[in-house]
Amino acid sequence: MTGGTFVGMPAFPEAARAALGDTQLRHNLAHATHTIRDKRARVVAEVEEWEELRVAGTAVKEAALRDLATHLEQLEASLTARGATVHWARDAAEACAIVARVTHAHGADEVVKVKSMATAEIGLNEALEAEGIAAWETDLAELIVQLGDDLPSHILVPAIHRNRAEIREIFRRRMGDVGRPAPDDLTDEPSVLAAAARAHLREKFLRAKVAVSGANFAVAETGTLVVVESEGNGRMCLTLPEVLISVVGIEKVVPTWRDLDPLLRLLPRSSTGERMNPYTSMWSGVTPGDGPQEVHVVLIDNGRTRALADDVGRQALRCIRCSACLNVCPVYERVGGHAYGSVYPGPIGAILNPLLNGVSDPQTASLPYASSLCGACFEVCPVRIDIPSVLVDQRAQVVDSHRGDAVPKPEAVAMRATAWAFSDARRLRWAHRASGGAGRVLDRLGRTTLPGGRRAAGRLPGPGAAWTSARDLPAPPAESFRAWWQRTDGGRR
């Protein structure tokens, strides 16, 4: 896995078809997305100046991106001055190698991990395993995914596709293999399951020498890293081990300390639907006598400079990983995260994966089309990423990447023919005459009457079958609007 995509995943439409047939998944997702949607809506409605706050948050991230090199150099200097060691990694392999090297240097064969999208993106757990290092996920949802040999399906709640009964089964079956087993009387009550996770992980927190985290924000001016979390697993990892390695995407930088204000007001309400998340940790390098005394920060590119060069897509790097766009997306709600084939699912994943990785891979190239362009994602995005516009631009990049094909795709042929007809009204009239003729035939032959009395066109062959396999289609009328207008002089005759 590089650039966050799962190897061997089918393109979105096929993966979605399979997911749509999973009744348990559909039920779990509908419950979870509607729950979190309602919570978000309630706490956002409390903030009268929410739109101003979105504008302010957008401006902070945009300012950071537009002068990113300067801020990164400042971040490096601030961190170094505070006793941290700064590493740079061009890609996933370099980043993983740095983490493995530091871990080995301390003779450790395990690390405890704070939930982090960056480390999921670079496939750190698998890379460390290959180096003989066990990486223990400590976020509850990540633990569920790891114990279940599963893939994450949501940015905030990677196990959103699992319900309590499935989680109980995973804990009963797998906890004992890797540490303290689940208690015999484990029920499927969320509080009981959370208590089992607490007991299971505590021994790992208490003995771990090395921790790995990401960061939600990195302040250039002060060298402050910020981790926003709920369970306290983050605090455990950031506080108890002797060595802390934080893997941070270069787009996480914000220029100044004060810039945290709008972002800390936007993120929890957008993400978990809370006024504030239970725990936010902020630290800068080494704090003498408190917490890890050896601190490493790995700044990763891994496709980010590729995205940065994209004039339309650059805005996706403003993302603060709140996952509000997933929760409101009608497509995500029905197909879940696995169909996107990446640690970044949902609307943001549909743009971020092509931006980070390019569109040469057919699976990645299918993602910009995994949207009805309804715009619900843009409406909730706390940093105003215009996801629909980026999706449309990405689609153009997919089409452009095929312009040199020796044999054009049937879709390209159809689009060119349609565009040709639409480029001149006279051509359109011929097309209407043909469809009007077909309509007269279908009207006589059609065996289906639409509610209201109009005839249906029947089942179409070829690509039209994708429509009529589930939906009736009206038969074309005998006379188009323009033919009527010309025949009647706009109804005056």
Q: How far is CA 472 from the centre of its chain?
A: 34
Q: Which residues, 355 to 374, sit near other proteins by CB under 8 A?
A: 368-374
Smallest separation, CB 360 to other proteins (Å)? 15
Other Cβ atoms less than 10 A from the Cβ of 24: the count is 12
Smallest separation, CB 469 to other proteins (Å)? 7
The yes or no reply on residue 461 touching other proteins (CB under 8 A) is no
# residues near other proteins by CB under 8 A: 176
Interatomic CA distance for residues 110 and 132, integer angstroms: 8
Among 77, 396, 441, 445, the residue binding other proteins under the rule CB under 8 A is 396
Give residues with Cβ within 8 angstroms of 488, minimum separation 6: none
Smallest separation, CB 248 to other proteins (Å)? 12
Give the residue with the Cβ less far from other proteins, 129 or 422: 422
- Binding segment (CB under 8 A) for other proteins, from list 99-107, 119-127, 179-187, 220-228: 220-228
Smallest separation, CB 48 to other proteins (Å)? 7
Q: Which residues, 250 to 269, sit near other proteins by CB under 8 A?
A: 250, 257-262, 264-265, 268
Among 1, 25, 32, 122, the residue binding other proteins under the rule CB under 8 A is 32
- Binding segment (CB under 8 A) for other proteins, from list 101-109, 174-182, 305-313, 345-353: 305-313
- Binding segment (CB under 8 A) for other proteins, from list 122-130, 179-187, 209-217, 389-397: 389-397
Q: Which residues, 153 to 192, sit near other proteins by CB under 8 A?
A: 157, 159-160, 163-164, 167, 190-191
The yes or no reply on residue 421 touching other proteins (CB under 8 A) is yes
The yes or no reply on residue 12 touching other proteins (CB under 8 A) is yes
Give the residue with the Cβ less far from other proteins, 132 or 267: 267
CB 353 within 8 A of CB 394: no
Smallest separation, CB 285 to other proteins (Å)? 10
The conformation of residue 463, written as its DSSP 8-state character, comes to G
Reduce the secondary structure of 281-342 to three states and give it as a string.
Answer: EEEECCECCECCCEEEEEEECCCHHHHHCCCCHHHHHHCCCCCHHHHHCHHHHHHCCHHHCE
Angle between helices 23-45 and 260-271 (to 10 degrees): 140
Give the residue with the Cβ less far from other proteins, 122 or 264: 264
Closest to 89 in 3D by CA, of 55, 126, 130, 118: 118
Give the residue with the Cβ less far from other proteins, 132 or 452: 452
Residue 21 tokens read as 């047939």
Q: Report residue 406: phi and psi, to 5°.
A: -65, -45
Closest to 164 in 3D by CA, of 144, 139, 138: 144
Q: Please report, as a single letter, which amino acid is at residue 104.
A: H
CB 43 within 8 A of CB 275: yes
The yes or no reply on residue 335 touching other proteins (CB under 8 A) is yes
